[in-house]
Structure 1
């Protein structure tokens, strides 16, 4: 059975797209990301590759994870990115002066707590 040229071309394009991975084709600007939230659209497209063709689907996931194109942009967890929140523990009762001193020790910044509203929480 001989296949016509257009059918061969379409089959070749489909195979190449599955081997190259969906995220790499759709979002080449995402290459090089290391971590982040997974883009559901890319994951679903790679999953369809698994559903129809096992080996190309696995390759699509591997390529997208390796290139970082499966991750949404600007969602990577950066080491030390804690939004400036720090927990300061103290065994002694805290006064405003003592609290200001503890915050200064933890952050290296002088703070003015004269207008601060402080409430106690349960241990």
Structure 2
């Protein structure tokens, strides 16, 4: 090998190792599917899991970090398992709590109690504000929100 080729080969290999390490450290699902951020759970995407597993071949740490990043962001999960939506419903100002619970129960198909700590009912000034609250909740349902 000539002396000029050695530094070029070394730079190429160094660049390749740095690129693979950065990809593994940032999490493959986060790079491949950033739109999935915020999913809470669901079925694991085998392509992302295998890509993260490749990081385990280049030492344990990059693969473990890739899995941790993807699980914490929710990008390792397949889409479509969690949904959120906004229904605009004008409410009568004279509506009492029982009537509101009945209306919400009919819309959701489940029994709704406004005393539940898991339920948040909030009055908003516009549909844009309601959509912003859904986006901030971390649940992504782009198909339904796009049709609004």
TM-score bucket (shorter structure): 0.5 to 0.7
Between structures 1 and 2, the one with greater helix share: 2
Q: How does the TM-score come out when normalised to structure 1?
A: 0.56
Is 1:69 matched with 2:78?
no
Indicate whether 1:4 and 2:25 are aligned. no
Please give the secondary structure, in 2, of the residue aligned with 1:32: coil
Report what 1:40 is aligned to: 46
Say which one has the larger Rg: 1
Correspondence 1:17 to 2:18: no
In 2, are the aligned partners of 1:36 and 1:77 still within 8 Å (CA)? no
Gaps of 5+ in 2: 1-6, 85-108, 111-148
Instruction: Could you tell me which runs of 5 or more consecutive residues in structure 1 were left unpaired when the two chains were aligned.
Output: 79-83, 86-123
Go from structure 1 to structure 2 and tell me whether the alpha carbon gap of 1:37 and 1:50 turns closer, same or farther (over 3 Å shift).
same
Match of 2:64 in 1: 58
Moved over 4 A (4+): none
Does the 8 Å CA contact 1:35/1:77 hold for their aligned counterparts?
A: no
Q: How far apart are residue 13 of structure 1 and its match? A: 0.7
Greater Cα shift, 11-20 or 47-56: 47-56
